[in-house]
Amino acid sequence: MENFGIGSWLQRRRPKSGTKTAVITGDRELSYVELADRSARLANALRDRGVAKGDRVAYLGENDPSFLETLFAAGLAGAVFVPLNTRLAPPEIQFQLRDSGAVLLVHSAALAELAERGSAGTAVGGRIVVDDSAVPGTTVPGKTGPDGGTVVEAFEAVIASGAALPPDEPVGLEDAAMILYTSGTTGNPKGALLTHGNITWNCVNVLVDFDFASTDVALMISPMFHVASLDMGVLPTLLKGGTVVLEAKFDPRRTLELIERHRATTISGVPTTYQMLCEHPDWDTTDLSSLNKLTCGGSAVPLRVLEAYERRGLRFSNGYGMTETAPGATTLPAARSRDKAGSSGLPHFFTEVRVSDPLDPGAGPAAPGTVGEIQIKGPNVIHQYWNRPGASADSYTADGWFKSGDMGYKDPDGFVFISDRLKDMIISGGENIYPAEVEQAIAELDAVGSVAVIGVPDEKWGEVPRAVVLLREGARLTEEQLRSHLEGRLARYKIPKSVVFVAEMPRTASGKIRKADLRKLTPGHV
């Protein structure tokens, strides 16, 4: 094959893994042969509909085989895959479709309204609907949308229309594979442009550092539109020839049931999901003996959760990364979860991590124990943001290291500890929230004089957003009115869980709000 990108993986796996089960969802199972065949047909169908190399194909839906079929089909056709967060509001979907220039949108039937509203006024010329009730192989005629321009077709009909022989579009590791949107400090999301090489090398890091095997059964309880679920769990498993079990939504009881039923060997999640599992009534009676890899990201695992898993003979591999690193940067070996508690671990095998000297960033790495900016380099690190030359240039040092914007330090053994977020990002239940985006939406209200959004601790989600608002003189605004304004504008997880009204904002001499001071305030003190 002339295609060396991720799109070729299933075709290369077909003769090696054959009828072995690749994906399980509910009662449906797809072998490597079936998954490869459906992806090849879809790739040809996309080309028949005018999708050319470099064109963007977006996907909006929960975990489902169609997500993977679209991903691999886009890769076979040389197109760029754009996964969309199902929790976003229509204006947010519209922005990402416009910004990426996606020409085609594949989406679940359940999200048809969101897809239609989000694709209005964009370059999307066709929508392909995945209907859970559709029977593979059936053909449902397409139709023209209400605007008379967008063609709407059924997913199974589109697959059935494609030729069986996979296309062999030349694709190299340097070619674009995905655009994944990550919120920015300016309020508008940026599209991280991941190449086929970025994703491949990240998967190699995972295979090396987590000892993935072809016998692994990975239960995916996190959405694949998040890079951690896709690139740290699903793709490495399929690359190695293992089996992926897809769940559309996380439910602790069902997750425990599926671990036992499928003899899952690996799960990945955030501290919140692991906490909900060990606090469920079925925890003590579920057979967890098959599990041998538990990976966790987003934040450190609380000690009480760590101990609950240790009592069942299980340990975590915690880690640190971001969309721009595809996403793995460091991982803490499970064997070191106790003596290096709180650490994000060591750099992945083919990745380098350094801490810049805060007093002289150009002088080289900081001494052990000295806090500075975490900087990352390696074949898994992106080279640019989509259509953001300024942001791309500002994100790298003169010698080519990616500036994470996170502060931390290395201990004498080289283990990385994250101490603060330079960019004020809030991580709530594994979802990244950038305050600037929320602040911008709140500032649209006439009553708001100034606003700052900060993260506050939350027992369930780790942290949640709080809005601190200074009203204009004489203006009135309630918490309910503020929330109502944000409904439909922002994803629900971004909407502040609490609002505090203040008489004045603590500011620096230059007029910037001192968020560090706001974090020290409690509702009783404000």
CA neighbor of 192 nearest in space, from 170, 204, 208, 176:
176
Looking at the domain assignment, is residue 326 inside a domain?
Answer: no
pLDDT at 370 over 50: yes
Q: Worst-scoring range by mean pLDDT, 64-73, 151-160, 444-453?
A: 444-453
**Using 50, 70 and 90 to split pLDDT, how confident is the model at 187?**
low
Q: Among 172, 194, 219, give the residue marking a domain's end.
A: 172
Query: What integer pLDDT is reported at residue 132 of this predicted model?
Result: 63
User: Which percentage of the chain shows pLDDT scores above 70?
Assistant: 93
Looking at the domain assignment, is residue 301 inside a domain?
Answer: no
Q: What is the pLDDT of residues 304-320, one digit of tens each?
A: 888 999 999 999 898 99
Q: Among 154, 172, 190, give the residue marking a domain's end.
A: 172
pLDDT at 361 over 90: no
Is residue 519 within 8 A of residue 493, CB to CB? The reply is no
Q: Worst-scoring range by mean pLDDT, 16-30, 120-134, 379-393, 461-475?
A: 120-134
- At 161, give phi and psi (nearest 5°): -80, -15
Q: What is the pLDDT of residues 190-214, one digit of tens each?
A: 999 999 999 999 999 999 999 999 9
Mean pLDDT of 166-177: 97
Structural domains in the chain (count): 2
Global pTM value: 0.87
Q: What is the CATH number of the domain that holds 63?
A: 3.40.50.980
DSSP state of 490: B
How crowded is residue 39: how many other Cβ atoms within 10 Å of its Cβ?
27
Looking at the domain assignment, is residue 87 inside a domain?
Answer: yes
Q: What is the CATH number of the domain that holds 458?
A: 3.30.300.30
Q: What is the pLDDT of residues 257-278, one digit of tens each?
A: 999 999 999 999 888 889 899 9
CA atoms within 13 A of residue 73's CA, in its CB half-sphere: 33
Looking at the domain assignment, is residue 481 inside a domain?
Answer: yes
Which structural domain range is residue 512 located in? 433-520
Q: Among 149, 172, 195, give the residue marking a domain's end.
A: 172
**Per-residue tokens: 509:** 């001499």
Is residue 407 within 8 A of residue 371, CB to CB? The reply is yes
Looking at the domain assignment, is residue 412 inside a domain?
Answer: no
Looking at the domain assignment, is residue 82 inside a domain?
Answer: yes
- At 388, give phi and psi (nearest 5°): -130, 70
The whole-angstrom separation of Cα 441 and Cα 278 is: 37
Question: Which residues partner with 418 through β-bridges?
Answer: 408
Looking at the domain assignment, is residue 249 inside a domain?
Answer: no
Looking at the domain assignment, is residue 382 inside a domain?
Answer: no
Query: What integer pLDDT is reported at residue 129 of this predicted model?
Result: 98
